[in-house]
Amino acid sequence: MEPFTVESTISRPREEVFEYLADIANHAEFTDHYLVDWHLTREDSYGLGAGARYRIKAPRARFNWADMSFAEVQPPFRIVERGRGGKYNRIRMLGTYTLSPGPGGTTRVEYTIETVPVMPSDHLMEALGGSAWLRRKTRKAMRRLRTILEEGRDRGRRATVAAR
Domains of the chain, earliest start first: 4-161 (3.30.530.20)
Interval 99-123 mean pLDDT: 87
Of 36-40, 51-55, 57-61, 81-85, the poorest mean pLDDT is in 57-61
CB atoms within 10 A of CB 59: 9
pLDDT per residue as tens digits for the range 58-85: 877 777 899 999 999 999 999 999 999 8
| Chain center to CA of 55 | 12
Task: Name the average pLDDT for the chain.
Answer: 89
